[in-house]
Structure 1
């Protein structure tokens, strides 16, 4: 793919006449960018679809093609894309339901709002993959009927469908009220008993490692139970008995459910596997007492996930902040803190707690300014990108903490051109700061020229509209393809140069 033409294809300043010329020479890569241009006209979309076959599917998903533009016989993939978007014709669905290519029928089965007769055709398909795909996306009525399908793979898909009626999901978990499944993907092709080893030597084998069947379709049944446990529509009373199941994966699936009774949560809190406890720790269903128990868990990931729980008390979160290595992220509990809680956090003697608060971008000016003057560099790094800070405040941060805050100061939306220039020339240099300066809206030509010297910032700077046009043109011959493509995508690239770069019709 030509990086210059790929860049021009996404250049927002490319005139319509040049889009026409670029369409005429487009390959698959260029067409992929042209198809999603906001200013692409219907006529241009039709021309692109006729020249690059693959682009028709992208254009259909982008809403640039209509039913009148597509021949479902000649363009079945495009017709499926429109059906998938709910914009196709019912007649297309009937045509494709009888398509000899199984992959197309499978794609059709995933589409919504299919005509009832098409649903019936797909439900009776001889290929279980098509029926399973239908079961995964279909309506409650059809899902309930397919729950009794003789193939276990179809039942597994029904268990994952959130539209499946709760009573049916409960039956899939227990097996009560349903006839036994007769087949699964394992016994379809192998003599049972059979266990698929990870080192399978068959090149065309698509069975998952560990897939097994001794006549009870046990691996598919296990997967079906896992899907049902993860399905929010499955009734609570149907899932609680899995709390002490010998399968780790089933207990793990249970731990994330937000409807668990406190007794079940308590049992999962002492599960021997830290992954189960970690998912439980992030679960909004756990109460204050259990949160405090999990705050003392020996596993780091359990404590880290607990910090992300929206209901964690502030005193627990403050304790976790220093020990769980949460990092620079806005936690849900911090985002929801009340004005009084914000004041409490701002005055915390624990710098990790103040750092978490500083991740908010809506702080009252007085609290924001107090955090700006914080003696701890981690707190200052967190508050540095906060909007509304003056140049004097940002420079004071640099004077106190120097290299530790340079990159974060560069992120601040109100950083002035003069400050950005100083950041780009800071000694010692901070590589991440170059990248932040290069994408900053206030970056000026001198700043961007300095950023071009950094390998990672160079492609970012090459795309910035404040870069001088002669420099953009020079970058079109850069040895780095990323830089070339970025320069070609720069809206400040002179129109005459764009015209010269696009081949004549």
Structure 2
């Protein structure tokens, strides 16, 4: 991982004097410093040019941040930043022909995904000596004639990515379902633009083909029912998230203990709430807002919050727009899993957050530190807890309300991710920035 000097270089609160000191070090240090400085948004035109001349990596970041302009770029010496400007609509159209003839295969591969690719450049890339370039063109082009040629390419990899292109005509995708290569049929089977009735005929094909087929949102109902009985758990897991399935396969999959099946079903946007309540206690879902919970109405949320299962109540607690009454009910929940889910809610004051720490200690430290309203004093208290998980300290290090005392504790951590976050925090005292910048 880069040194703390690079973290300080990107700190938005770095004083101009220290910033100038870091620019003075550019000729004698590695390119990582230039790249770190290029992430800043307060650079003047002279500093932008200095960084762009230092290395292409810095120029690429400057282009991505909107600080580098077409007049500052020679596409022959800075081809990747030039392509970034083209992708943003700020480059010179004439650059495309130059880049299409670049000796850099990765650059040509990037160019093949460019939305504004002229026909002439597309024809050049279609016969590129590097099949990765041609394959990238196959998945991105919207020209039917070119797609038809690429779908008949002798290299299976190219046909595979043509089969994955959602702009491909239905008749072309239907033809690719009969390709002799499994990877090609796999992509065609899962492409939502492939006619569902045609794709369904691959229901007994190779395992990889069936896995892709199980993601297709437009298959006949009987095909989904058959896939729900497939011997391969990854097929059933893919099916469990498919937005096209109805209640019958969902109920079948709710009792499936195959790897990841129930977890996938939990993420289905239309999973019935009774099914979700049934699988949540026996499924590792994690701290995430499920689509069906996000769409639940007020009455459904109240019903779920009254579940005897803490994991179900915790799912409701992931909502950040809960009515105050329901939110406060969940804050008082006796289970730490619910507390961890509700603690990041932006409507909580520090008295309630402190009360959670009083009850659960380090068990809610990361969750409380995630709350944008957590005060400096409470963050200091969290940083002093022992034992404290590394994730909690990293969260404190990045918090906008972190105090100098809390950041000092983070800088003393053996975890470089924590010290990096602390060094990049705008609340870091200038004296500490100066010390790190001199290292």
- Partner secondary structure for residue 177 of structure 2: helix
Deviations 1:329-381 (A, max 9, x none): 22111111100101111212222211111111111111111111122232222
2:263 — aligned with what? Answer: 304
Among 193, 204, 207, the residue aligned to 1:233: 193
- Structure 2 unaligned regions, length at least 5: none
Of 203, 216, 229 in structure 2, the residue corresponding to residue 243 of structure 1 is 203
In the alignment, is the contact (CA less than 8 A) between 2:148 and 2:172 conserved in 1? yes
Spell out, residue by residue over 1:224-254, the C-alpha distance to the aligned partner (whole angstroms, 9 max, x if none): 1112223222221221111111x11000001
SS at match of 2:203: helix
Contact between 2:11 and 2:424, CA under 8 Å: does it hold in 1? Answer: no
In the alignment, does 2:173 pair up with 1:169? yes
> Which is worse superposed, 80-89 or 30-39?
80-89
> Normalising to structure 2: TM-score of the pair?
0.86
Cα distance in 1 for partners of 2:94, 2:420 equals: 48
**8 Å contact 1:279–1:305 — kept in the other structure?**
yes
What secondary structure, in the 3-state scheme, does the structure 2 residue paired with 1:244 have?
Answer: coil
Query: Aligned equivalents of 1:421 and 1:101: distance in 2?
Result: 51
Aligned to 1:193: none
Equivalent residue for 2:143?
140
- Where is the helix percentage greater, Structure 1 or Structure 2? 2
Q: Is the 8 A contact 1:35 1:45 kept in 2?
A: yes
Provide closer, same or farther for how the CA distance between residues 255 and 423 of structure 1 changes in structure 2, counting only shifts above 3 A. Answer: same
The residue number in structure 1 matching 2:295 is 336
Alpha-carbon offset, residue 472 of structure 1: 5.2
Residue in structure 2 matched with residue 431 of structure 1 by the alignment: 389
CA distance in 1, matches of 2:257, 2:137: 44
Please tell me whether residue 315 in structure 1 is matched to residue 319 in structure 2.
no
More moved, 397-406 vs 279-288: 397-406
Is the 1:292–1:316 Cα contact (8 Å) retained in structure 2?
Answer: yes
Give CA deviations for 1:78-133 in whole Å, capped at 9, x if unaligned. Answer: 44444444443343333344456655544443333222223233334565554433
Give the drift of 1:5: 4.5
Match of 1:253 in 2: 212
- 1:167 to partner: Cα distance: 1.7
1:76 to 1:297, Cα distance in 2 relative to 1, 3 A: closer
* Greater Rg over alpha carbons, structure: 1
TM-score, scaled to structure 1? 0.76
Partner of 2:10: 10
Asked whether the equivalents of residues 84 and 108 of structure 1 are also in contact (C-alpha less than 8 Å), the reply is: no
Q: CA RMSD in A?
A: 3.1
- The residue number in structure 1 matching 2:51 is 48
State the distance in 2 between where 1:298 and 1:3 align.
45
* 29, 35, 38: which one aligns with 2:38: 35
CA contact under 8 A between 1:424 and 1:434: conserved in structure 2?
yes
Distance 1:313 1:284 in 2: 13
Whether the 8 Å CA contact 2:233–2:259 is kept in 1: the answer is: no
